[in-house]
Structure 1
Amino acid sequence: MQLYTVGINHTTAPIAIREKVAFDPDHLSQALLDLMDHKVSEAAILSTCNRSEIYAKARDPKIIIDWLCKYHGIKLKIIESHLYVYENQEAIQHAFRVASGLDSMVLGEPQILGQMKQAIKTAENTGSLGVLLNKLFQKTFSVAKEVRTKTDIGMSSISMAAASIKLAESIFGDLKTSKVLLIGAGEMIELCAEHIKNRRPKSMTVANRSLDRGLALAKKIKGDACLISELYDRLHEFDIVLSSTASQLPIVGLGMVERALKTRRNRPMFMVDLAVPRDIEPEVGELSDVYLYTVDDLSHLIEEGLTNRQSAAIEAQKMIDHHVKDFTQWFKTRTIVPTIKALRDHAESYRITELKKAQKLLKQGMKPEEVLDVLSKALANKFVHHPSQALNQAKGEEHELLTKTLKKIYPLKD
């Protein structure tokens, strides 16, 4: 069994591909249980707007890839060129980099660490974490904390939420006359709400499937709330729309926006879709009076303070490399423990067999020194029998490798 990471992220695939393999957080536990039924002994799934990654202990990464395609109902050829697969040491390093923010679209952003912790908590509650992944992520979070504490990797970074508001300001200028709609009530929308609240817009409305959750967020920002089902009749009221839900299907369709624009008499609408899969149908972006942006479109706005963070990233990578080396050594030790135990058990079976023979010889009256001689010769012959046999049967490179191995194991002279 090896440690694997199989995934797709913002550097390997556009949003149109990423949304095909995004996991619904409400069904993540069931996905993990399903994966565990496919010859995977440990598993955790990290799914955000920028990445879908599976960390697993398995015999072959193909098992994980085949399951990923089957689970999402897509053909391998659609995602094959966008996939990355990391094994053992590379998988360890990748986990450390992701948690530390070195692999994020926003270099050093802190949100990914919380998302990763939630993913591991879900796996733990589901029962899909074993000794290996549990140890890996304990170390991962420890390394991330050290990196963020001892370097400036998170300094001057601008979040997706902040980038969305800055973009709105670049189009509308002062937002004090703008009416804002927030679709969803999760962490991303809450971050957006905090940023936009400080701009004092004319009004803020939270639309959510659960009115209670919507009202709770609305209360924090001194806004109002409505159900998502009300948007068809209310969308025209809003100048700025920010959406981030866990819906597997679009919430805002082309027809809904066209209807809203007619009522608005073609006054422009600014829309940011921070969800993966997307909440707003991409065709909406083709309308002349709509400014529609996705998470991929925001990448150019998140470069502020990048130079300082890149310097910090070099320092952070050195720290990560050190911890990767240590953890890899622990991992290798764990993988050879079963082999060492099997070797010791094998030797013990020889000892017991020959000891019983020796005891019989003693009972038959043989002298103890003669019994010891017979016993020691028998053990010596048994211990060298299999290595000798393997060496005699080996040919070419295998013979050369076995010879070197035996000389390394035993202090043999040429």
Structure 2
Amino acid sequence: MHISQFYIAGINYKKTDASVRGLFAVNNDHYASVLQKAPDYFLDQLFILSTCNRTEIYGIAPCADSLVHLLCSETEGSVETFKELAYIKQGEEAIEHLFNVASGLDSQILGDYEIVGQIKQATRFAKEHGFVGAFLERMVNTVLQSSKAVKGQTALSGGTVSVSFAAIQFLMDNVTNVANKKILLLGTGKIGRNTCKNLVDYLHTTNITLINRTPDKAVELADELGLQYASFEDADKYIAEADIIIVATNAEQPVIMKADLESSNTKILIDLSIPNNIDPLAKELAHITLVNVDDLSKINDATLQKRQAEVPKAKAIIAEHIDEFTEWYSMRKNVPVLKAVKQKLQDMHACNLFMAMHPNLGENYTHHASSDSIQKVINNMALKMRQQRKPGCNYIEAINDFITSRVH
């Protein structure tokens, strides 16, 4: 493959609101179906990153259209809508985009580090289904190393700004006596878990009930933090009683409808899900305050301003890791050449030419010494290839001439 065959096609918060992004959201069932269909589109290396802020499909493809049509075949949005709103990047530009995404440079809230876990989960799922080869695996590993370096060497992810914390910030700014309010958290996946811990740590409240469709996660988190949990079947009762409801589920349709809230008390509802898991029409009710991830991203404070100053440092770190990856890719193309040279040298040894080139080895020359000498030659050639990787260099051409020459 050539690096120009690597594409990313995606939509994100920059051109689409939460309702449109929801049309192209991919859960695990969709993801499995996409991977099952992938060979029909001549695709064998790909992964999908679907979060509250973006849906992106990355892959080695004959053209970007194959990725777009595959993705849209398993989502509610059309190919036409996707193409109208999407960004498509190829080759080195696509690689740089993934590095930026993983470091939080492209996040709706600058420096949001939750994206790293989502990338790991997305690529793990694809790998389990056999769609991550050497190229994607090496690239993602380098991306994660780069992201870790950015987090450790800059303050880009410093402070306490993320989607899950933005929900807490909203409550601190808009609710008095939060500790006296009944809080219901629906969904205890990664985002829900982070939000729950932030509720306890920053609002100093344990008046929280957890509900999850599969109860194990809710029970475990409730026990860990000293909270209450309830079964999914009793959700209506707790929705009616709660003063604050935070939804971090991964359902394809809203789990709370406008009709569920028409006769309720005054409530604040925060929807952290994509697609919307709270009916957007609930906003029409005078006693309901409803905010979603797009509303939360508008929270701007001193922490974000400090993060902006760290962007140049982050970009410099990313550039170093991109160079590291592209060098690996360039050298990987030379592996067949090196193997051929090794075989050539072994053929020469079989014809006793290798002995003639090393007269000091004498009668004590052994097969083991020969193998070691050959490997040293190969290692030296690999080093030369790295050093001579520039326009006008005939090093590789000379090696190919050597390989094709006859052994006498």
TM-score (norm 2): 0.78
Aligned mate of 2:208, from 204, 221, 233: 204
How far apart are the structure 1 equivalents of 2:306 and 2:39?
A: 42
Q: Which amino acid aligns with 2:97?
A: H
1:168: how far off? 1.7
Tell whether the 8 Å contact from 1:175 to 1:202 is kept in structure 2 after alignment.
no
SS at match of 1:46: strand
Partner of 2:153: 150
How far apart are the structure 2 equivalents of 1:26 and 1:77?
A: 23
Taking a change above 3 Å as real, the CA distance of residues 3 and 231 of structure 1, as seen in their structure-2 partners, is: same
Q: Which amino acid aligns with 1:105?
A: Q
SS at match of 2:246: strand
Aligned pair 1:213/2:217, yes or no? yes
SS at match of 1:104: coil
How far apart are the structure 2 equivalents of 1:185 and 1:238?
A: 17
Question: Among the aligned pairs, what percent are the same residue?
Answer: 29
1:195: how far off? 1.7
Q: Deviations over 1:14-48 (max 9, x none)?
A: 11111111111354333223224321120111111
Partner of 1:232: 236
Partner of 2:261: 257
Tell whether the 8 Å contact from 2:187 to 2:248 is kept in structure 1 after alignment.
yes
Q: Which amino acid aligns with 1:229?
A: E
SS at match of 1:305: helix
For structure 2, which runs of at least 5 residues remain unmatched after alignment?
A: 345-390, 399-408
1:336: how far off? 8.1
Aligned pair 1:137/2:140, yes or no? yes
1:302: how far off? 4.6
Query: Which protein has the larger Cα radius of gyration, Structure 1 or Structure 2?
Result: 1
Aligned mate of 2:65, from 57, 62, 66: 62
Tell whether the 8 Å contact from 1:159 to 1:302 is kept in structure 2 after alignment.
no
Aligned mate of 1:88, from 77, 87, 91: 91
SS at match of 2:262: helix
Tell whether the 8 Å contact from 2:206 to 2:226 is kept in structure 1 after alignment.
no
Tell whether the 8 Å contact from 2:30 to 2:74 is kept in structure 1 after alignment.
no
How far apart are the structure 2 equivalents of 1:329 and 1:82?
A: 33
How far apart are the structure 1 equivalents of 2:133 and 2:85?
A: 28
Corresponding pairs, count: 345
Partner of 1:331: 329
Partner of 1:381: none
How far apart are the structure 2 equivalents of 1:202 and 1:324?
A: 45
Partner of 2:387: none
Aligned pair 1:53/2:51, yes or no? no
Aligned mate of 2:249, from 242, 245, 248: 245
1:202: how far off? 6.8
Q: Which amino acid aligns with 1:192?
A: T
How far apart are the structure 1 equivalents of 2:76 and 2:189?
A: 27
Q: Which amino acid aligns with 2:284?
A: E
How far apart are the structure 2 equivalents of 1:8 and 1:178?
A: 37
Partner of 1:368: none
Partner of 2:23: 20
Partner of 1:108: 111
Taking a change above 3 Å as real, the CA distance of residues 153 and 202 of structure 1, as seen in their structure-2 partners, is: closer
Taking a change above 3 Å as real, the CA distance of residues 84 and 336 of structure 1, as seen in their structure-2 partners, is: farther
Taking a change above 3 Å as real, the CA distance of residues 85 and 337 of structure 1, as seen in their structure-2 partners, is: farther
How far apart are the structure 2 equivalents of 1:141 and 1:202?
A: 35
How far apart are the structure 2 equivalents of 1:309 and 1:104?
A: 12
Tell whether the 8 Å contact from 1:158 to 1:302 is kept in structure 2 after alignment.
no
Tell whether the 8 Å contact from 2:250 to 2:273 is kept in structure 1 after alignment.
yes
Q: In angstroms, what is the RMSD of aligned CA positions?
A: 2.7
Q: Deviations over 1:140-177 (max 9, x none)?
A: 11111122122121112412222212212322212021
How far apart are the structure 2 equivalents of 1:97 and 1:410?
A: 37
How far apart are the structure 1 equivalents of 2:72 and 2:14?
A: 20
Tell whether the 8 Å contact from 2:34 to 2:71 is kept in structure 1 after alignment.
no
Q: Deviations over 1:66-87 (max 9, x none)?
A: 1122221432222222211111
Tell whether the 8 Å contact from 1:205 to 1:224 is kept in structure 2 after alignment.
yes
Taking a change above 3 Å as real, the CA distance of residues 219 and 302 of structure 1, as seen in their structure-2 partners, is: farther
SS at match of 1:128: coil
How far apart are the structure 1 equivalents of 2:247 and 2:197?
A: 14
Partner of 2:8: 5
How far apart are the structure 2 equivalents of 1:218 and 1:42?
A: 39
Equivalent residues in 2 for 1:10-409, closer than 5 Å: 10-198=13-201, 199-201=203-205, 203-259=207-263, 261=264, 264=265, 268-332=266-330, 334=332
Tell whether the 8 Å contact from 1:4 to 1:61 is kept in structure 2 after alignment.
yes
Tell whether the 8 Å contact from 1:92 to 1:328 is kept in structure 2 after alignment.
no
TM-score (norm 1): 0.77
Q: Which amino acid aligns with 1:301?
A: I
1:334: how far off? 4.7
User: Structure 1 stretch 223-232 or stretch 293-302: which is displaced more?
Assistant: 223-232
